[in-house]
Structure 1
Amino acid sequence: MMTALPFLTLLGMFLLMEGVIVVQGQQTIDDAQADFAWNLLEASGPQTQFIVLSPFSISIALAMVYAGAEGNTKTQIGNTIAKGVNNDSALIDYFSSAAEQMDKTTAGFQLNTANKVYIQDKFEILKSFENIIKQKFASEIQQVDFAANRETAELINAWVEKKTNSRIRNLVQPQMLSAQTAMALINAIYFKGDWKTKFNAESTTKKMFHAFENSDREVDMMAITSGFSYAETEDVQVLELPYKDPETFMYVFLPTERFGLRQFEKSMNGEKIMQLMNGCMPRNKIIVELPKFKLDGQLRLNKVLEELGIRDAFDAEKANFDGISKNDSLVVSDVVHKANVEVNEEGSEAAAATGLFMVFRSSRPMPVTPPIRFIADHPFIFTIVSQNRILFIGRFH
């Protein structure tokens, strides 16, 4: 009987889906990716806690694993990150092209993604898998000795830190690695964007934020009155804050009820979130108050991903990664994700990293309207979106 070797996936991020025939396939995967983002947010912790995630970073790491999965293992991964897309090449091509299209650096804007695969010395992977990793995901493959866990953890962490501009540190702990570790797949994403219309730092004042009933705290509240795009329903106000890059925005979802975040989250899904974001229309005058904030988060995503439908990949008896290696049986041992986001008067800076570890098994017209008040003095959800793809999603409480 073949020994099962662990497989490790790492994700790291600061504030960090999917292919027929390009237009139809992309739209389907964009919608599925929005569902994945919202499901991740809900499954990763109670509505009463701060959280920040990069569904895009997590998806790319899982897409790399998907490329080497077979049978039910592959189906479960595909259904989770791109439900309704039954075309292998379309799914892989979506992530490959998305990362390439969004990778850019201009004045006041930087968005970079990077992938890397580390494999145990003398562990043989199939040429077909190697080609996909190198050609589709632009990833280097480096042989290491996972038994030297401290040195290898330092090596991986140095790469992640470099790719995230020092925003993500210590993604991998030495105890996560051992002689049984076969492979680590890493995705890192770094984002820094200036607002198209910056807040004036002199307008930032101390104000109360109503986190819970009978529980207030003081925050640095930024303020601006300007024209922005906006949408609202009976339950939520949605504000679109554009960055200098014309395809990148932050959206803030502020429940109408002061303590209505829990009910709002339960009532939403990816499709509805996309409709709200796409439904924002230009308004000539909005009075905005938004807290400055910095969020850090680190999560072990094994249980979260199992809850979302990826179960066999973590089961030594059921995992099927024969598309990676025919000589050894693999199982995912860990998926870890680290993210950070900072929002201030100038703009936002965010980063994320995801690691997956495998082991051997053992411009529209602007109407003149009355001023709208958007006062974010109670819990809200935010997304950072580029080219209609959710890069980061978080909850400020």
Structure 2
Amino acid sequence: MNCAFGTLKKSYFKFSKKCDIIKIRKAGIKMKQDNIQAVNISESIPNNKTPKKAILIIGIIIILALIVGLTVFAIIKNNQNDDETVPIEKSEYWISDNSLEAFDLYFLQSENGKQNKVYSPLSIKYALEMLKEGAKGDSKAQILSVIGTYEAKKYTDSKNMSFANALFIKDTYKKSIKRKYKNKLTDKYNAVVKTDSFAAPDTVNSWISDKTLGLINNLFDDVSQEEILLINALAIDMEWEEKFILSPSVGIWTEYYHEKFYWRGDWDVVPHSFKDINEEVSGMEIIASFNNYDIVKELGEENIRQTVTNAYMEYLKKYPYRKFGESLFLNSEIVGLSDDEIMEKYLDRYIKEINSNYKAEDKTTDFSLYIDDNVKVFAKDLKEYDGTTLQYVGIMPTAEELDSYINKATADEISNIIGNLKELKAENFKDGVVTKITGFIPKFKFEYKLDLMKDLKNLGVTNVFESGKANLTNISSDKSLYINDAIHKSNIEFTQEGIKASAVTEAGGAGAAGGFDYIYDVPVEEIDLTFDKPYMFIIRDKNSGEIWFVGTVYNPLLYSEDTTKYVSDY
């Protein structure tokens, strides 16, 4: 079975599609799974008896400033009792709310290999939530030991965000589905309930395509063997909150008291080295500066006036053929003025301009950052849609290797980092200096398949995967249902598509004119925000704290379809 994906050609941080699907079909029927996340629930077949119903959970994630998610559950028979009084023991990964918790990082730590990876905690939580509604007894208790008091946040369905749930039931199987379960899905998850012959996949595929903004098309080749499809579809198309600024040519980026920052900025991406990668990777440059150096206060206005006057007199000695004032103003500006009046007029302008530079801010785009002895952090917002703002947070350890950092990282530590992100405001940077920030953020694109069943079993969610122990009788009167497999596959694309990273701002401190200019040396503190070694990232709902995606970048890859060219000789 193939899952086809599309690409939006807009300026955005491109996520990829994300789908979680739970499929119910006959046991013993295997389906090839390509580009999908799948949980396959099949029944045991004792004594060569005819196979009964099976459950298949399939999910796909594609991160794209457009995120698509799809979840499908399916069901089979078991002999678990219906006791609802089983005690619940809290797992160390117990989820209490929508904020970043140990559960969100668990899969990163559980599969901590040195490779690119991405997964969606939100997708997995939602799948567990919907599975919980259909479980009873020990099966439900094990899910609750992890899902805890978590309640999936409802997202608004709109042009830029699609968030939908559906229960598709085969016509011949609809009487087996409990009305209470259908009502709970409708009331709690806003799910639609549909019946279909499943003779062809058109109805299901059409719904999925619509709810994933057309990114997932023709997901199913055949659904004739399925009994139930419980689907959660999520798609978000979001552009950057603030685009990068395009510069028409190489030039001066900014200038404070003649501290000139030259940089190249007239192409979309630039090459850069990356640890353990033999060839250069491409990405976007970022630059910002903040002037917290009050030169007039530090040096004194009278001292500055005298220093600049003396410098101008020395200039005239070097160029004796120049008339007093002609290198400072146009002739029309100083007609009838004495030399002293001309000098005073120039000094007034000089002082005004260097005063105006104090607290000045310049940047190529808006972002936040955090740096300490252990990590560098870059964060950038996507546009808000219907009250939802997603934020990309990249965390690069500098004191140790990424795998070592991940093993020791806690939700509290990372939450503290996020809470201490600095916005690009002069007040957030050191007084008495000009702060210059330069950095490089790589493009990347990759996919990853999470061993979800193994990871969930390690969390203590085991019964639903075992025939004879699984109890999913809140879904159907059919009592021999269990989940045979769980696979979570993701794809992420981070690109400059439509984003132009450059700017030209001239904020001259001396107000030079006609050839004379006096340059003051100023204290400059440089901050390097270059991401040139493996790092992890989080994509979060900035308002609720909900974690949408988590991943690692060990090898930023260029796209085979990328037609962007960059210049390597500057």
Amino acid at match of 1:183: I
For the residues of structure 2 that align with 1:163 and 1:217, how far apart are their CA atoms? Answer: 40
What is the match of residue 113 of structure 1? 163
Secondary structure class of the residue paired with 1:372: strand
Secondary structure class of the residue paired with 1:28: coil
Match of 2:409 among 248, 262, 268: 268
For the residues of structure 2 that align with 1:347 and 1:263, how far apart are their CA atoms? Answer: 35
Match of 1:73 among 121, 139, 142: 139
What is the match of residue 340 of structure 1? 491
What is the match of residue 373 of structure 1? 528
Kept in 2: contact 1:231–1:238 (CA 8 A): yes
- Mark the CA change 1:251 to 1:347 in structure 2 (over 3 Å): closer, same or farther: farther
Kept in 2: contact 1:35–1:270 (CA 8 A): yes
Kept in 2: contact 1:11–1:58 (CA 8 A): no
Q: CA deviation at 1:131?
A: 0.6
- Mark the CA change 1:233 to 1:66 in structure 2 (over 3 Å): closer, same or farther: farther
Match of 1:196 among 237, 241, 252: 241
Identity of aligned residues (%): 27
Q: CA deviation at 1:143?
A: 3.2
Kept in 2: contact 1:293–1:342 (CA 8 A): yes
What is the match of residue 90 of structure 2? none
Secondary structure class of the residue paired with 2:244: coil
Report whether the alignment pairs 1:50 with 2:201: no
Q: CA deviation at 1:191?
A: 2.2
Match of 1:385 among 523, 540, 550: 540
Q: CA deviation at 1:171?
A: 5.1
- Mark the CA change 1:220 to 1:200 in structure 2 (over 3 Å): closer, same or farther: farther
What is the match of residue 377 of structure 2? 238
For the residues of structure 2 that align with 1:172 and 1:395, how far apart are their CA atoms? Answer: 30
For the residues of structure 2 that align with 1:383 and 1:323, how far apart are their CA atoms? Answer: 35
Report whether the alignment pairs 1:36 with 2:88: no
Instruction: Name whichever structure is richer in helix by fraction.
Output: 1
What is the match of residue 184 of structure 1? 229
Kept in 1: contact 2:471–2:479 (CA 8 A): no
For the residues of structure 2 that align with 1:294 and 1:162, how far apart are their CA atoms? Answer: 25
- Mark the CA change 1:184 to 1:230 in structure 2 (over 3 Å): closer, same or farther: same
Kept in 1: contact 2:451–2:488 (CA 8 A): yes
Amino acid at match of 2:131: V
- Mark the CA change 1:394 to 1:128 in structure 2 (over 3 Å): closer, same or farther: same
For the residues of structure 1 that align with 2:52 and 2:469, how far apart are their CA atoms? Answer: 11
Amino acid at match of 1:198: K
Q: CA deviation at 1:67?
A: 0.9
Amino acid at match of 1:29: D
* Structure ranking higher on relative contact order (CA contacts 8 Å, 6+ apart): 1
- Mark the CA change 1:316 to 1:136 in structure 2 (over 3 Å): closer, same or farther: same
What is the match of residue 355 of structure 1? none
Report whether the alignment pairs 1:141 with 2:193: yes
Kept in 2: contact 1:383–1:392 (CA 8 A): yes
Secondary structure class of the residue paired with 1:345: coil
Q: CA deviation at 1:339?
A: 3.1
- Mark the CA change 1:66 to 1:250 in structure 2 (over 3 Å): closer, same or farther: same
- What per-residue deviation string (whole Å, max 9, x for no partner) do you get for residues 186-212 of structure 1? 222222222223234635444244253
What is the match of residue 130 of structure 2? 64
- Mark the CA change 1:167 to 1:347 in structure 2 (over 3 Å): closer, same or farther: farther
Q: CA deviation at 1:345?
A: 2.7
For the residues of structure 1 that align with 2:186 and 2:125, how far apart are their CA atoms? Answer: 17
Q: CA deviation at 1:61?
A: 2.1
Q: Which moved more, 1:160-169 or 1:315-324?
A: 160-169
- What per-residue deviation string (whole Å, max 9, x for no partner) do you get for residues 123-172 of structure 1? 321111111111211222233456x6xx44x6544433332234345655
Q: CA deviation at 1:241?
A: 0.7
Amino acid at match of 2:391: F
Q: CA deviation at 1:267?
A: 0.9
For the residues of structure 2 that align with 1:30 and 1:76, how far apart are their CA atoms? Answer: 20
Q: CA deviation at 1:248?
A: 2.3
What is the match of residue 207 of structure 1? 271
What is the 5 A alignment of 1:315-354?
315-345=466-496
Secondary structure class of the residue paired with 1:378: coil
Q: Is there any run of 5+ residues in structure 1 with no aligned partner, and where?
A: 17-26, 86-90, 349-368
For the residues of structure 1 that align with 2:233 and 2:279, how far apart are their CA atoms? Answer: 33
Instruction: Name whichever structure is richer in strand by fraction.
Output: 1
Count of residues in correspondence between the two structures: 340
Match of 2:211 among 133, 154, 163: 163
What is the match of residue 184 of structure 2? 132
Rg (Cα) greater in structure: 2
For the residues of structure 1 that align with 2:552 and 2:414, how far apart are their CA atoms? Answer: 14
Amino acid at match of 1:50: N
Secondary structure class of the residue paired with 1:134: helix
CA RMSD of aligned residues (A): 3.2
For the residues of structure 2 that align with 1:157 and 1:267, how far apart are their CA atoms? Answer: 43
For the residues of structure 2 that align with 1:264 and 1:347, how far apart are their CA atoms? Answer: 33
Q: Is there any run of 5+ residues in structure 2 with no aligned partner, and where?
A: 1-45, 64-68, 70-94, 247-265, 288-362, 426-435, 500-523, 555-570
Amino acid at match of 1:240: A
Report whether the alignment pairs 1:280 with 2:421: yes
Q: CA deviation at 1:328?
A: 3.3
For the residues of structure 2 that align with 1:49 and 1:169, how far apart are their CA atoms? Answer: 29
- What per-residue deviation string (whole Å, max 9, x for no partner) do you get for residues 359-397 of structure 1? xxxxxxxxxx94422111111111211121111222221
Secondary structure class of the residue paired with 2:59: strand
Amino acid at match of 2:536: I
Amino acid at match of 2:181: F
What is the match of residue 362 of structure 1? none
For the residues of structure 1 that align with 2:487 and 2:166, how far apart are their CA atoms? Answer: 15
Kept in 2: contact 1:5–1:182 (CA 8 A): yes
What is the 5 A alignment of 1:301-312?
301-312=452-463
- Mark the CA change 1:118 to 1:269 in structure 2 (over 3 Å): closer, same or farther: farther
Match of 1:250 among 392, 399, 405: 392
